[in-house]
Structure formats: structure tokens, C-alpha cells
Amino acid sequence: MAMQTVAQSESKQINYLNWKTTVASWLLTYDHKRIGILYLISISLFFLLGGLAAALIRLELATPKGDLLTSDVYNKMFTIHGVLMIFFFLIPSIPAVFGNFVLPLMIGARDVAFPRLNLLSWYFFMAGAFLATVALLRGGIDTGWTFYTPYSSSFAKGEVSLAIMGVFLAGFSSIFTGINFLVTIHKMRAPGMTWFRLPLFVWAMYATSLIQVLGTPVVAITLLLVAIERSLRIGIFDPQLGGDPILYQHLFWFYSHPAVYIMILPGMGVISEVISAFSKKRVFGYHFVAFSSLAIAIIGFLVWGHHMFSSGQSIYAGLLFSFLSFLVAIPSAIKTFNWMTTIWKGRVHWEAPMVYALGFMGLFVIGGLTGLHLGALATNLHLTDTYFVVAHFHYVMVGGAIMAYLAALHYWWPKMTGRMYPQSWAKLSALLVFVGFNLTFFPQFILGYLGMPRRYHSYPEEWAALNLLSSAGASVLGFGYIIPVIYLVWSLKYGRIVTERNPWGARGLEWELVETPPDPHNFERTPIVTRPAYDYGHPEEPTGFVPKPRPVVVGGKDG
């Protein structure tokens, strides 16, 4: 009883944020939620840096002449943009931030299976990021994010090997996260949380982790071989020394094509969560959506050769890869149609996460369908290395993955911070991102079709209007990304305080059984799950329950 009085006088409830507050308690934490926050802060920084590089690129391309940046600096800019955005933002984005934060909550676990490995993965990430940043500061590199040989191994000046080691370390950070999540999903599910009761985000994370574990080591060793070739001049990839540059492309894309699915699959998982939560309906065709994640992960490994149609790869291998590339469209379409059917006849709530999710669907469909143009051998030869490719993968990776990332951020923000952001600003920024994005990248489809090659800092006058449009759109897009940064940071101090567990009225253990913000140990006891995910049809039945109340109740709203 005495304790209860103390608790009431001190109104603040104990949660993972205020439990311990020293810097060391953050840097040495094994708590998956805190590690998620560490990742959130670090990748936001790289998103900012990569975004600045993108801004310079679009500024240069606003006019046909190369008047702002020299070609050399321009090359370094798009390399910085690519390396930072792909290896240090997109790949860790949803898995490392939201996977870490919500995955154990969703399956009713106290933590991931290997908390120390989890922290280690963040340190590997930071070490890799440090090396890459040093390489960029010491003059930068101009190989492009693909590090294509023999340019990267024999000719490129600058700290290529250092950047490669940075990517190598970040790769192992990704592998550790993958191993951790695989084991967590297999072994840490609460009693009653069967495979087909899992939220679809967990299925998506499982598929993502498979790719991380199966694919990343190959790119790690390949980049290591490039670094060895650079220092010892062994002709592994340089044809002048007897090597084979196409082998590099095979090994590189064996990972880097599935890596696209590392970026988009978790996004698809987020969209399943958000669409269902704001339509107040179970995801239509749960099993199909779940298995389509696995299908994308597996088929995604068999299509890498479509990046190499014009490289000198055998035409017969090209045929095979082209055919298999078309197969990936099937599970992706299954997902899209099932989301649409989920919304259909649902009670749609137009909250900010939902607006972002709808933006994802629009942009992802365009990105996915233009992928078919590139997967077809004949059209690919016309479109290879043009802005059509640039537009296509930005539609998938920015329009898809980053939209989903923002949807996730807005969806779980109240749970993570205990604060609510201003809805109207959030919806406005979602709209700005959608409009700005289309304005930036849709003209690039046309430019690419007209034959404008990528990776040049100047271009003929005839493409000036479309490029100007694209650069104008980029500035709108930039505003769309800056506004959330401002109001989210603002909300940390001034936003409406959220104390209820379930501000969205969503289903799932992380909303129904976990405090806002979560307790350091997530659940008082391991919960028991009794209902499938998204059981909106039975609002009176909770998804699960925590077996026994604690003997002494302290603090909080149940105090």
C-alpha cells in the first residue's frame, strides 16, 4: 500500500524510456526497444546525408549544362547517395528499427532470442557507417553503389577499399539481425501464438531475415574479393589480369537483387498491418499474403540475371532469368489485390498512417509494373542504363519502401514515444510526398524512354523541360520529408500525451497488452494468445491475455 502512494505521487509510469536514463544505459542496452531507437536515430542521420546528396544531384540536373558540379564531383555525389541510402538507410530501415521494436511485442516475447547479438549488430552497423563516412570525407569514391569491376578494382581512385569494408561490416550487422529474427520467430512465440496467428508483419520479417542470412554473406565475400584484388592485383574480376567482370556481377546481384526485397518485404508487412488496422477488417486472404512473402523471398533469389541482360551474359541464361522475373509479379500482385480487398467494405479511418499506406500502394504498383518492362528482354535492351531504370527502382525503393517506413513510423510512433503528432500536418506531408514523388520520378520514365542515360551530369537541351519538372518535384518531395522530421521531433515535447494502450483501436498484442510506452520487460508475464491476428470481427474478444495479475500493482493506470 505504501508503495502505491509513492507511485501515485510520482505520476510518471515506469517505461523503457525513463527506466534508466544514462548515456551508458542506452549504449550498452540489451533491450530490443532501445536498440530499435538507436537504429532509428542513426539511420535518420544517413537518410539526411543521402538526401542532401540527392538534392545536389537534382539541382545539377535542373539545367542541361553541367554548371553546378564537375562530372567528377557529380559521380561522387550519386555514389554517396546510393551507398548511404541503400546500405545505411533502406536495408536497416524497417527491419532494424521496427523489426526490433515491435517484433518481440507482436509475438509476446520479453526480448529477441539473442539480445547481446542484437546490440553487437548495431555496433557493427555503426563501425561500417564510420568507415564509409571516413571514405567519403577523404575525397569520396566514384564507383557507384554497385562497385562494378574492373573500374572499382583496378581504376577507381580514392578510398574504395575503406568504403567496401564499411559495407562489409554493415552487411554482417544485417546478417546478425536476420539470424536473431529467424530464431526469435521460431522459438520466442508466446503460447498460443501459432504460425497462422502471427501478424503478417512477422511473416514479412521472417522472409526478410531469410534473405539477409542467405544473401548478404555472398555480397560480403564478393566485396572482400574486390578489396583483395585492389591491393594484390590478382585478376579475379579484371579482364586485363585474366579475371571475369561478369562473375562479379553474378555474385553481386545474387545478393543485391534479393536486397531489393529486404527493402520492400518489411514494407509490405507494415502495409498489411496498417491497412487492416485502419479498415477495421481482417486482412483478406491472410494465408495468401503470408505465403506470398515467402514466395517473393525465394523466387527473388532466382532472378538476379535480369540486371545483366546487356552485360554479355548468355542469351539463354537471360531467357531463364527473364521468365523467372515475371514470376515475382504474381506474389506481389496477390498482396496488392488482397490489400485492396481488405479496404473494400471496411470502415476506413483516414488517419495519417493509412494515408501513407495508400500512397505506398499507388507508388508500388507503378514501380512493380514498370519492373515488367525491364524484366522483358527486348524492352530491357532499349531501357538499360536509362532514367527509366532510375525511375523504376525509385518507385519501388522510395515510393514503396520509404512510404511504408513513414507509415510504420506514424503508426507505431505513439507506442514508441507516448506522444501523438498533429494529424493534419502528417496527412499534409503524406500528400506532399505523394505528389512530389510523382512529379520527381514520373518524368524520368519518359526521359528514360527517350534515351536519357543515367549517371551523367549534363544532357542535351531537348530534355530540359522534363528534367526541370523532375527537379521541381524533388523540392516538393524534400518538403514532404522535412515536415515529418519537424513535427515528430516537436511532438516529443509538445505532442498530446498518449497513455492508453491502443490509441488506434487496432488488434495485436503490441496494442492490446503492452503499455504505452512499453514496460522495459514488455509484458508483466508471458501472455497467452487465444485469437488469430486482426480479429476485428470479434471486438469483445482480446487477441490474448496475461495469465495472472502481479501480486503488487505499482504505478500506471492499472495502479
Query: What residues numbered 172-211 form the site for another protein, per CB under 8 A?
Result: 175, 178-180, 182-183, 186-194
Q: How many CA atoms lie within 13 A of 240 on its CB side?
A: 8
Binding mask of the shown chain, residues 511 to 540, with x at each position contacting another protein by CB under 8 A: ----------x----x--------------
Can you tell me whether residue 1 is helix, strand or coil? coil
Q: Give the separation between CA 50 and CA 139, rounded to whole angstroms.
A: 16
Cα 248 from Cα 236, distance rounded (Å): 9
Residue ranges in 352-391 that form contacts with another protein under rule CB under 8 A: none
The answer to whether 231 and 238 are in contact (CB under 8 A) is no
**Structure-block grid coordinates of residue 323:** 521468365
The footprint of another protein on residues 452-511 (CB under 8 A) is none
Q: Any contact of residue 241 with another protein (CB under 8 A)?
A: yes
Task: Pick the stretch among 47-55, 277-285, 310-318, 458-466 that binds another protein (CB under 8 A).
Answer: 310-318
CB of 453 to another protein, least distance (A): 21
User: How many residues form the binding site for another protein (CB under 8 A)?
Assistant: 73
Give the one residue of 301, 387, 395, 504 binding another protein; rule: CB under 8 A: 301
Give CA 305 to chain center in angstroms.
23
Give me the torsion for CA of 64, 69, 72, 73, rounded to 10°.
Answer: -140
Report the nearest approach of another protein to the CB of residue 553 (Å). Answer: 9
Residue 109: CB minimum distance to another protein, A: 7
Q: ∠ CA(505), CA(509), CA(512), 5° rounding?
A: 40
362 CA to centre of own chain: 17
Using CB under 8 A as the binding rule, whether residue 157 contacts another protein is answered as: no
Minimum CB separation from another protein for residue 219, in Å? 9
DSSP line for 114-138 = -HHHHHHHHHHHHHHHHHHHHHHHT
| Residue 13 to residue 143: CA distance in whole angstroms | 51
Amino acid, single-letter form, for residue 258? P
Nearer to another protein, 59 or 214 (CB): 214
**Alpha-carbon distance 162 to 135, whole Å?**
6
Among 95, 150, 305, 368, interactor with another protein by CB under 8 A: 305
The minimum distance between CB 111 and another protein, in angstroms, equals: 4
Footprint (CB under 8 A) of another protein, residues 320-349 = 320-321
Q: Which one among 16, 88, 261, 304 touches another protein, defined by CB under 8 A?
A: 304
Instruction: Please tell me the total number of residues recorded for the chain in this structure.
Output: 559
Q: DSSP code of 524?
A: S
Q: Among the candidate windows 95-103, 217-225, 280-288, 432-440, which touches another protein by CB under 8 A?
A: 217-225
Does position 217 bind another protein by CB under 8 A?
yes
221 binds another protein (CB under 8 A): yes
Burial (CB count <10 Å: 0-12, 13-18, 19+), residue 519: middle
Based on CB atoms, which residue is closest to another protein, 127 or 214? Answer: 214
At 175, list the grid cell: 546478417
Binding of residue 225 to another protein (CB under 8 A): yes
Q: Which helix (H) or strand (E) holds 528?
A: strand 528-529
Site string for another protein, 91-130 (x = CB under 8 A): ------------------xxxxxxx-x-------------
Closer residue to another protein in complex, CB, 4/424? 4
Task: Decide if 443 contacts 467 (C-beta within 8 A).
Answer: yes
**Rounded least distance, CB 523 to another protein, Å:** 12
For another protein, which stretch binds (CB under 8 A), given 64-72, 381-389, 411-419, 546-554? 546-554
Show the cell assigned to 202: 512477422
